[in-house]
């Protein structure tokens, strides 16, 4: 309850909401920077939070380089690279 009170603006005292928020099936990488939403990989942080990763990589290709050079977990970088590579494969 203390966590709910502390983070009241971001959390709802609702079991379904909390389940959906912490459901491991939605999480793509160990750093929790990407999640599945609506069947697509989306950013879970920063200025692109909630936006599809493939869309961001197409519209702002420098964001990939920024993340790869940044202080992100290796698993996060690996998953981002996999998503980027799947975009290239989809074009063929």
**Domain chopping of the chain, boundaries:** 28-91
| Residue 24 confidence (pLDDT) | 60
Q: Which residues neighbour 64 within 8 Å (Cβ) at sequence distance 6 or greater?
A: 57, 80, 84
The pTM assigned to this predicted structure is 0.71
**Weakly modelled stretches of the chain, pLDDT under 70:** 4, 21, 23-25, 90-92
Q: How far apart are CA 1 and CA 34, in angstroms?
A: 27
pLDDT at 34: 96
First to last CA, the chain: 51
């Amino acid at each position: 309850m203390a966590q709910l009170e502390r983070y009241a603006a971001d959390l709802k005292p609702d079991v379904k909401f909390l389940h959906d928020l912490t459901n491991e099936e939605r999480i793509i990488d160990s750093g929790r920077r990407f999640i599945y939403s609506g069947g697509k990989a989306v950013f879970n942080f920063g200025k692109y939070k909630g936006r599809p990763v493939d869309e961001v990589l197409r519209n702002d290709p420098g964001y990939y380089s920024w993340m790869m050079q940044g202080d992100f977990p290796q698993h996060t970088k690996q998953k981002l690279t996999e998503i980027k590579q799947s975009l290239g494969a989809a074009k063929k």
